[in-house]
Amino acid sequence: MDHRGERIFGLDLMRAVAIALVVLVHATDLLAAHWPGPSWAGRIDGVDLFFVLSGYLVGGILLRFAEDHGRPWHIRLLDFWQRRWLRTLPNYYLFLLVNLLLAWTHVSQGIVNVNTLAYLVFLQNFHVPLDLFYWESWSLAVEEWSYLLLPVLVFAAIRVFRSEVRTAFLSAALVMIAVPAALRLGMAPGVRTLDARDLYVRWMVPTRLDTIGFGVLAAWCHRFLAGAWARMRLPALLAGGAGLWAATAFQQEAHLYYLTTWSFTCGGAAIALFLPVLSAWRSSAGWTGPVAFISRISYALYLVHLPLRYLFLRLVEGRSTAGTVLLYGTYLALCILAAAA
């Protein structure tokens, strides 16, 4: 769906691929006894696809709000936040409760203590990693903080610095890209392992906002450089493919400095370069309906797939190959049904 509410097959496909990658990677242990899973599955991070797409779509919506001069700026700002939070917070808090119960009853290996309160206001990975339970919520916190900070940056530039919408929006996007990149450069010397890189860099709000920022920058380019956006579809696609390879090809600990710093920049920029093609891909015969369905339920599917996985992990031990495959198929079907519900 684009920022005007029209469904775009290419964007639906991007979201559907993102959630498929996330579920595939997180559920490989359900098949681990008989099939270790593809080595490539974890290289392209489905969450990064979500981040860039979110920045592009939300950026387009915010541009429309910022250019709506018929209402006071604070009304537009509150309206933007209201719409974002009504779409995301109810399910977030529902699954916060679900994951809390799973950790409390030891179905999942979570920890419940007073720091759990941080999850109520998305502080679980804002300045220190709590790593208690509801682990997938790290990406939701990054998203929610971007919803809060991006419009503040845009409207502050408009109100305080008297910038035009075009300049204010570009400035906000560049700040979102530059600050996390600079923070990662400063933190990289202290990161000694891939696990530490994930815990202190990859899953933290201040160091990951730039992936969303590249999507915001893409929304700006689409709005204000529309001619170049259309002309450069093929070159952007090729450059995006090369950049995504560069971001994902070096996964070994020997490349830890790169993986902690510039791989995130390359990955976010590369994914954004796919958007000129994907945003123009309106339909695909035979696939439009199923892809749009998976796209529509992707947020709920992201929330439901890990709680169900904890339950299915208890059932998979000791099963035959056929029984394991059947159980895995049942798991995927229940994930889709629960997400649709």
Tens digit of each residue's pLDDT (9 = 90 or more) over 255-281: 999 999 999 999 999 999 999 999 999
CB 284 within 8 A of CB 68: no
Q: Are the C-beta atoms of 111 and 103 separated by less than 8 Å? A: yes
Whether 181 contacts 265, CB under 8 Å: yes
pLDDT for 42 equals 60
Q: Which residue has the tokens 């070159």?
A: 235
The percent of residues above 90 in pLDDT, for the chain, comes to 80
128-183, pLDDT tens digit by residue? 999 899 999 999 999 999 999 999 999 999 988 888 999 999 999 999 999 999 99
Stated as kind and residue range, the H or E segment containing 263 is helix 262-273
- Poorest-pLDDT segment among 93-97, 246-250, 302-306: 246-250
Q: Which residues contact 131 (CB under 8 A, 6 or more apart)?
A: 199
> In 3D, which of 337, 338, 339, 325 has the Cα closest to residue 27?
325
Inter-residue contact 131 to 199 (CB < 8 Å): yes
Q: Which of 46-60, 218-232, 307-321 has the lowest mean pLDDT?
A: 307-321
pLDDT number for residue 4: 53
What are the Cα distances from residue 13, in Å, to 49, 84, 189, 285, 305?
11, 22, 38, 13, 19
The pTM (predicted TM-score) of the whole model is 0.95
Question: For the segment 16-39, what is each residue's pLDDT rounded down to a tens digit?
Answer: 999 999 998 888 888 877 777 655
Q: What is the pLDDT of residue 37?
A: 63
Mean pLDDT over 48-77 rounds to: 94
> CA Rg, the chain, in Å?
20
